[in-house]
Structure 1
Amino acid sequence: MPKISAATVAEHRARQREALIEAAVDILVAEGATAVTPAAVGARAGLARSSVYQYFDSAAALLATIVEEAFPRANAALAEALAGADGPAARIDAYIATMIRLGAEGAHRPAAALMASDLHPACRERLMELHHEQAAPLRDAVRDLGVPDPGLTADLLGGLLHGALTAADRGAPADTVLARTLSLVHEGLAGAGPHRPHTGGTDNAAR
Structure 2
Amino acid sequence: MPKINASTVAEHRARQREALVGAAIDILVNEGAAAVTPAAVGARAGLARSSVYQYFDSTADLLVVIMQEAYRRSNEALAAAMAAADGPVERVEAFFTESLRLGAEGAHRPAAALMTADLHPACKEWLTALHLEQVAPFRAAVRDAGVPAPELTADLIAGMLHTALTAVDHGTPLDTVTERTLELVRRCLSPAGGTVHADDAGPA
Q: What CA distance in whole angstroms lies between the structure 2 residues aligned with 1:92 and 1:192?
A: 17
Q: Note the alpha carbon deviations across 1:111-149, whole angstroms, 9 max, x for none.
A: 111111111222212111111011011100110111111
Match of 2:154, as an amino acid? A
Q: Note the alpha carbon deviations across 1:59-83, whole angstroms, 9 max, x for none.
A: 1110011011111121111111111
- Indicate yes or no: 2:102 matched with 1:105: no
Partner of 1:83: 83
Match of 1:5, as an amino acid? N
Q: Note the alpha carbon deviations across 1:35-71, whole angstroms, 9 max, x for none.
A: 0000100110111111111111111110011011111
Structure with more contact order per residue of length (Cα contacts < 8 Å, sep ≥ 6)? 1
Matches within 5 A, 1:45-60: 45-60=45-60
Alpha-carbon distance, 1:182 to partner: 1.0
Match of 1:180, as an amino acid? R
Partner of 2:181: 181
Q: Give yes or no for contact 2:23–2:44 (8 Å, CA) kept in 1.
A: yes
Q: What CA distance in whole angstroms lies between the structure 1 residues aligned with 2:84 and 2:99?
A: 15
Matches within 5 A, 1:89-168: 89-168=89-168
Match of 2:201 among 192, 199, 202: 199
Partner of 1:205: none
Q: Give yes or no for contact 2:43–2:49 (8 Å, CA) kept in 1.
A: yes
Q: What CA distance in whole angstroms lies between the structure 2 residues aligned with 1:68 and 1:81?
A: 20
SS in 2 for 1:54: coil
Partner of 1:39: 39
SS in 2 for 1:15: helix
Q: Give yes or no for contact 2:145–2:189 (8 Å, CA) kept in 1.
A: no
Q: What CA distance in whole angstroms lies between the structure 2 residues aligned with 1:191 and 1:29?
A: 41
Partner of 1:71: 71
Q: Give yes or no for contact 2:90–2:203 (8 Å, CA) kept in 1.
A: no
Alpha-carbon distance, 1:189 to partner: 2.6
Q: Give yes or no for contact 1:25–1:66 (8 Å, CA) kept in 2.
A: yes
| Structure 2: tracts of 5 or more residues without a match | none
Q: What CA distance in whole angstroms lies between the structure 2 residues aligned with 1:124 and 1:102?
A: 23
Partner of 2:22: 22
Give the alignment's Cα RMSD to 1 decimal: 1.7
Q: What TM-score does the superposition give when structure 2 sets the normalisation length?
A: 0.93
Q: What TM-score does the superposition give when structure 1 sets the normalisation length?
A: 0.92
Q: Give yes or no for contact 1:100–1:174 (8 Å, CA) kept in 2.
A: yes
Q: Give yes or no for contact 2:89–2:189 (8 Å, CA) kept in 1.
A: no
Alpha-carbon distance, 1:191 to partner: 4.8
Q: Give yes or no for contact 1:148–1:192 (8 Å, CA) kept in 2.
A: no
Q: Note the alpha carbon deviations across 1:144-180, whole angstroms, 9 max, x for none.
A: 1111111111111111101111111222111000011
Which has the larger displacement, 37-46 or 180-189? Answer: 180-189
Q: How many residues align?
A: 201
| Structure 1: tracts of 5 or more residues without a match | 203-207
**What is the aligned-residue identity percentage?**
68
Alpha-carbon distance, 1:7 to partner: 1.0
